Structure 1
Amino acid sequence: MKKAALASAIVSLLCLASANAFATPRAGQDAAKVTPDMIQTGSDIPAKWNLPEGNFDYVRREVMIPMRDGVKLHTVIMIPKGAHGLPMLLERTPYDASGMMPGKSPKMADAVWSGDKDWADGSTILVAQDIRGKYGSEGKYIMTRPPMGPLNPTKTDDTTDAWDTIDWLVKNIKESNGNVGMIGSSYDGWTVAMALLHPHPALKVAAPESPMIDGWMGDDWYHYGALRQVNLDYFTGQMTKQGSGETVPRDNYDDYTNFLQAGSAGDYAVAHGFGQLPWWKRFAAHPAYDAFWQLQALDRLLVAHPSNVPTMWLQGLWDQEDIYGAVHAWEALDKAGHGANNHLVMGPWWHSQINRDGWNMGPLKWPGNTTAQFRQQVMIPWFQHYLRGMPLATPLPQAMIYNPVEQRWDSFTDWKPASEQSLTPLYLQGDFGLGFEAPSGGGDNYVSDPAKPVPYLARPIPQENDRWRTWLVQDQRFVETRPDVLSYTTPVLTKTVTVQGAPIADLFARTTGTDGDFVVKLIDVYPGTVPSDPTMGGYELPVSMDIFRGRYRKSFAEPAPIPANEVQEYKFRLPTVNYAFKPGHRIMVQIQSTLFPLYDRNPQTYVPNILFAKPADYRKATITIEHGADGKSAVLLPVAGNAAL
């Protein structure tokens, strides 16, 4: 057959097949019949979907609990099936109670967020509540709503809301034994601390984890007056919507570039619409530690209104967000004579890591899951002792602090508040040495240029940054060779130097400017080679560091210009440690004037409010660190035992 004829035949067959597809059924063939059950005229989405829960091992309830002023707060309650006489664990949060306890699994341990999994073993009723004005709760949201008083003229605060919530729970949850514990981290830790100012009689035990205690002195917003400007995203995330708000959009991948191009932190905020936020307006009007901040400092309020509730003040040794609150609250209470029912716990963790896995802290690896071990072996048994009368195998010590070098928990019956510690000066020496002997004289200088600030992490530093959680343990070799960073180092240690407590930076410095910041880092320098972990060879591990804004050297409430070219003393506390510098290692102290973009740049020219410094205010300054007749700069160490190099 020729090609043309073959093609014609194929076309004819295809046409015949197509015609047969639409042909009337022949005799004997049944036509397809449409019955009424095939037709849906409404929506295929039911008005309400009810998940069958017959095989669930818990009952999930959502209720609106009324407060004394009539406002109702959205509350999620998870009750083990068949529960009778169980205690309740309450967490009050601005982070979505429903999201913390979604209840989308038959097993209670799989139906709650990671922080509650170990609690969801059938022994405890779990309760999560949205605070006022957030997510499902009624009322007005106010950032860390101040206690009733000069800053809060209403008749309610998070103390009364906790009281009213607990009162409702013990009266309405028939499966409970009437005992309540409170727990929560960060903002949720702040709500626990607020509940302790006037606790309900049914509140039997509490654990504020990494709580926001003083936002100006050293928690989320400022550190000794230096603004933590990367936390501005938290403002929009919390206050642009009742639910989860948006982060600030970025022009560049690298936040170092974004904040540098913006100018001042105030310029950055205004450019991104912060003028619409009442909190920003209050915040920006009070850059110094005035009554606005002092009246919200919970460590002071806890001492003024001490409770008898057994309380575990818990935080991480490298908490990148709230490293100040727990230890200062505990110290204030202990110093005021309330140490019997208050305990300090510090683990080898980043912020809120206690609620997640704890196998490591950045490059530091632990011999087990430290967080799970602590929850299961210490925290939960301690709570159940007060909530259910369960016996304790070992009483909780006054302080329980992890030793990251020896990789063990150390217990202390006489842990001293920082103000009562004995301190040993580790002096800056000539030729960038460091030692316990007083220096003979001299000084070292560097030029701090606000146009080229020292980064807190190796660039680029994106907005979504996996290194944020562990920036406090990042290898500091990436800045050691910068001309605006001074590094002082001891000889190789021949014996262990153990530091237990809060180091104090004590700098004597001159500047050509009229303002300036000082960053001090206490660092463990590893040997050049580490056979057990080659990646740690020469690692410069920060053990404790912080920043201090120079205008507050005499008073946090009343800033003053720095007299140019005159030696001034800058003395400030570094975060608490329990650390052993081992033989073969060296101790290093680094000093610099910027830690960017984590902290806003000091213009180094005195202006009334650094938040709104103008471009012309930002000027280079030469800083001289003295270690001689004009001042013996040092880091004062709480050394355990005798120290020698």
Structure 2
Amino acid sequence: MNRIVAAVVAGVIAMAPMAASAQDYGRYSDAAAQTELGRIAIVDMAVMAPMRDGIGLATNVYRPKDAKGPLPTILWKTPYNELAYSPRTTRNALTWVSRGYAFVVQNERGRYFSEGEYEILGYPQTDGYDSLTWIAAQPWSNGKVGTLGCSSSAEWQLALAAQNHPAHAAMVPQAAAAGIGKVGRFQEQGNWYTGGVPRNLFFIWLYGVDNPQRAQIPSGLDQEERARIVRYNDLDAKKPEVKWSSQIRHLPVSEMLADLGEPPATFETLIARTPADPAWREGGLYHDDMGWGVPSLWFNSWYDVSIGPNMELFNHARSTTQDAEAAANQYVVVGPNNHCAFAALGPNFRSGDRDLGDASFDSDAMVHAWFDRWLKGERGAFSESTPHVQYFNMGENRWRSAAQWPPAEVKTVRMYLRSSGGANSLNGDGRLSLEAPPAGEAPDRYRYDPMNPVQTIGGGDCCNGGLVLAGAYDQRQIEARNDVLVYTSDVLTQPMQVTGFVDAVLKVSSSAPDTDYAVKLVDVAPDGTAYILGDTIIRARYRNGFDRPAMLTPGEVATVQPTPMTISNTFQPGHRIRVEVTSSNFPKFVRNLNTGGANETENSGVVADNAVHHAGDQASYIELPVLK
């Protein structure tokens, strides 16, 4: 194997410090980090790891020069441009090499310098498996590999974990929900849907990532020449800028990218599927009938794109019967940060408009200890007394721990949506009550116009071209609309900690054959600020199941139950609990055009007169997991 050591950027910097611990590397300039990596590491760039079908995946291998024996390995697999010089990759390599590991970064199939055709998640059950086999067979490997990464570098790990590869000793998936097809109550097919409603973020993400006309370097080059090309030609095509705030409104949805001149590709394939389409089983998504075989340290976030499936999968992995050791060694950390922003946790932490105090958590130290335990065999590195669940409770603004999720002490508290028929807007008479409404209480009615949808402000999201800022933003601007039903509790006199899965059950009717129902849970501070905690949505046609779509009978009452919201928040004395109900949350979710047709291929909609019922046996309510 030819060795191409990371280049020194001549004349740019003074000599880097002669030695540094891993935690010091963040203070290096980019050029100094490159220099230090060249000093302590052997760097093999653009090695082609062979897959079973003969395709080669471009791989950088970083390992310590002074290694005395076989090395444990950290594998970071990515669809992004991280083989050419990247400050983040360099610092990651420095950290792991300085700790006595080999650090391997690999481009997914069809991305940048790897051969083959790209597919979302990068074929984890074949390419992922073969990559582990290749690493374990290297003369520098001790046969133990840990997979690490956030977002796209985490999502592929899930289906791989079901393979139980003998070299896959441990994993750290961070913000991994887009790798989940179906798990328990959640069938989001890689976060493409929530409650059967497509999410707009992937349309924007695919515009930037999916490139069927990508440039490729010639096959048959030797490694030294390929490495030279990697260093000097990043193959990172820059597409034209798009004004997504207007483009996201394009109808029909199915032509949103074609309207930009994009050739047919992944987007067109996925937007044509329903939530129950069998084709979702053909890719790299993890489904809960696939088993689990790897000890895992999960990192999730309250304001990420989809916290619910992440926590459901954590519970599922703990219940696996495939591998008792793996089931017993599942740990999760849940912070108040946005997508992949674990390094942002610290003192004086803010989420959106909300001050959450000291959210400090040393995630790096925990990851290091985890891999030392499983890849180096240092059993004392990761304490056996570590709680299986560590989560940040908003409102209390402190970290808590539990043996399970939700904590065993949680009790369900049901609160009913009530009004005198005028819950419209913040100025209406909607209330959230522990007392069930009597028969005869008037329903709440509103008009939903898909051409004037309710705007998304905050909540959980990511990767959307700046359309939505995730976090705990004030909802009063939304609550001022007459097409938003607002239900607010009395002022609390005692703290109420809500920790777990939050369920909403609505009795609804509509003038349309199909429409959506969107729900939010909000913490209202004494000054009136309404901090969003979580949101969910359901397409009415899927109320009986994604495999049993059924249109509404206009005017007839039906039951809809969105997938749960997932939170931990203490509503403090002086605060109030609030639930919002409406029929859109845009641009987070695709608008329902209310026709009952193939929504994503239609170019016009109709107005729906919608209602929420809450009288007698038609009660609508929310169920809160309250920690006593």
Give the TM-score of the pair, scaled to structure 1.
0.78
| 2:562 is aligned with 1:564 | no
* Cα distance between partner residues in 2 of 1:245 and 1:226: 31
The correspondence for 2:574, drawn from 561, 567, 584, is 584
One-letter code aligned to 2:390: M
Cα shift at 1:195: 1.9
Give the match for residue 381 of structure 1: 369
Secondary structure at the aligned position of 2:204 is classed as helix
Cα shift at 1:485: 0.7
One-letter code aligned to 1:127: V
Give the match for residue 190 of structure 1: 155
Same amino acid, percent of matched pairs:
28
Give the unaligned 5+ runs of structure 2.
Answer: 1-5, 11-34, 182-186, 215-234, 420-428
One-letter code aligned to 1:454: V
One-letter code aligned to 2:412: L
* Cα distance between partner residues in 2 of 1:365 and 1:172: 49
> Are 1:186 and 1:322, in contact at CA under 8 Å, matched by a contact in 2?
no
* Cα distance between partner residues in 1 of 2:546 and 2:407: 21
> Are 2:62 and 2:93, in contact at CA under 8 Å, matched by a contact in 1?
no
Give the match for residue 431 of structure 2: 433
| 2:39 is aligned with 1:56 | yes
Cα shift at 1:397: 2.5
Q: CA RMSD in A?
A: 3.0
Cα shift at 1:298: 4.4
Secondary structure at the aligned position of 1:423 is classed as strand
The correspondence for 2:613, drawn from 626, 630, 636, is 626
One-letter code aligned to 2:556: E
Give the match for residue 273 of structure 2: 286
> Are 1:163 and 1:199, in contact at CA under 8 Å, matched by a contact in 2?
no
* Cα distance between partner residues in 2 of 1:111 and 1:450: 42
The residue correspondences of 1:105-124 to structure 2 (distance < 5 A) are 112=89, 119=96, 121-124=98-101
**CA 1:268–1:508 in structure 2 vs 1: closer, same or farther (change >3 Å)?**
same
**CA 1:335–1:464 in structure 2 vs 1: closer, same or farther (change >3 Å)?**
closer
Cα shift at 1:341: 2.7
One-letter code aligned to 2:160: A
Give the match for residue 139 of structure 1: 116
The correspondence for 2:586, drawn from 592, 596, 609, is 596
* Cα distance between partner residues in 2 of 1:84 and 1:438: 70
> Are 1:551 and 1:561, in contact at CA under 8 Å, matched by a contact in 2?
yes
Secondary structure at the aligned position of 2:256 is classed as helix
Report the number of matched residues.
547
One-letter code aligned to 2:353: P
| 2:201 is aligned with 1:202 | no
Give the match for residue 323 of structure 1: 307
One-letter code aligned to 2:131: T
* Cα distance between partner residues in 1 of 2:312 and 2:524: 28
> Are 2:351 and 2:471, in contact at CA under 8 Å, matched by a contact in 1?
no
One-letter code aligned to 1:410: R
> Are 2:444 and 2:611, in contact at CA under 8 Å, matched by a contact in 1?
yes
Deviates more, 1:505-514 or 1:204-213: 204-213
One-letter code aligned to 1:168: W
Secondary structure at the aligned position of 1:126 is classed as strand
Cα deviations by residue, 1:194-238 (Å, 9 ceiling, x for unpaired): 221213322211112111233661743221111112421222222
Secondary structure at the aligned position of 1:65 is classed as strand
Give the match for residue 444 of structure 2: 444
Cα shift at 1:289: 1.8
The residue correspondences of 1:328-347 to structure 2 (distance < 5 A) are 328-337=312-321, 339-347=327-335
**CA 1:364–1:113 in structure 2 vs 1: closer, same or farther (change >3 Å)?**
farther
Cα deviations by residue, 1:172-202 (Å, 9 ceiling, x for unpaired): 252x433211112222212211221213322
Cα deviations by residue, 1:569-591 (Å, 9 ceiling, x for unpaired): 11123332122111111111011
Tell which structure's C-alpha radius of gyration is larger: 1
**CA 1:553–1:356 in structure 2 vs 1: closer, same or farther (change >3 Å)?**
same
Secondary structure at the aligned position of 2:307 is classed as coil
> Are 2:75 and 2:147, in contact at CA under 8 Å, matched by a contact in 1?
yes
Cα shift at 1:299: 4.7
**CA 1:406–1:467 in structure 2 vs 1: closer, same or farther (change >3 Å)?**
farther
Cα deviations by residue, 1:573-619 (Å, 9 ceiling, x for unpaired): 33321221111111110111111122211011200x2111132xx11
| 2:308 is aligned with 1:304 | no
* Cα distance between partner residues in 2 of 1:476 and 1:221: 25
Give the match for residue 224 of structure 1: 195
Cα shift at 1:57: 2.4
The correspondence for 2:128, drawn from 159, 162, 176, is 162
Cα deviations by residue, 1:487-513 (Å, 9 ceiling, x for unpaired): 111111100111111101111111111
> Are 1:335 and 1:417, in contact at CA under 8 Å, matched by a contact in 2?
no
* Cα distance between partner residues in 1 of 2:52 and 2:88: 31
> Are 2:157 and 2:173, in contact at CA under 8 Å, matched by a contact in 1?
yes
Give the match for residue 75 of structure 1: 59
Give the match for residue 253 of structure 2: 265
Secondary structure at the aligned position of 2:267 is classed as helix
Give the match for residue 22 of structure 2: none
Cα shift at 1:267: 3.6
Cα shift at 1:281: 3.4
Cα shift at 1:65: 1.2
> Are 2:314 and 2:330, in contact at CA under 8 Å, matched by a contact in 1?
yes
**CA 1:111–1:328 in structure 2 vs 1: closer, same or farther (change >3 Å)?**
closer
**CA 1:497–1:367 in structure 2 vs 1: closer, same or farther (change >3 Å)?**
closer
> Are 1:239 and 1:245, in contact at CA under 8 Å, matched by a contact in 2?
no
The correspondence for 2:80, drawn from 85, 91, 95, is 95
Cα shift at 1:421: 7.4
Secondary structure at the aligned position of 1:179 is classed as strand
> Are 1:506 and 1:634, in contact at CA under 8 Å, matched by a contact in 2?
yes
Give the match for residue 10 of structure 1: none
One-letter code aligned to 2:166: P
Give the match for residue 423 of structure 1: 412
One-letter code aligned to 1:625: V
| 2:591 is aligned with 1:613 | no
* Cα distance between partner residues in 1 of 2:552 and 2:94: 52
Secondary structure at the aligned position of 1:619 is classed as coil
> Are 2:359 and 2:397, in contact at CA under 8 Å, matched by a contact in 1?
no
Cα shift at 1:428: 0.8
One-letter code aligned to 1:444: D
**CA 1:369–1:554 in structure 2 vs 1: closer, same or farther (change >3 Å)?**
closer
* Cα distance between partner residues in 2 of 1:619 and 1:87: 60
One-letter code aligned to 1:232: F
> Are 1:115 and 1:356, in contact at CA under 8 Å, matched by a contact in 2?
no
One-letter code aligned to 1:58: A
Give the match for residue 44 of structure 1: none
The residue correspondences of 1:435-514 to structure 2 (distance < 5 A) are 435-440=433-438, 441-457=441-457, 468=468, 470-514=469-513
One-letter code aligned to 1:638: P
* Cα distance between partner residues in 2 of 1:366 and 1:491: 23
Give the unaligned 5+ runs of structure 1.
Answer: 1-47, 103-109, 146-156, 529-537
> Are 1:115 and 1:355, in contact at CA under 8 Å, matched by a contact in 2?
no
Give the match for residue 30 of structure 1: none
**CA 1:164–1:213 in structure 2 vs 1: closer, same or farther (change >3 Å)?**
closer
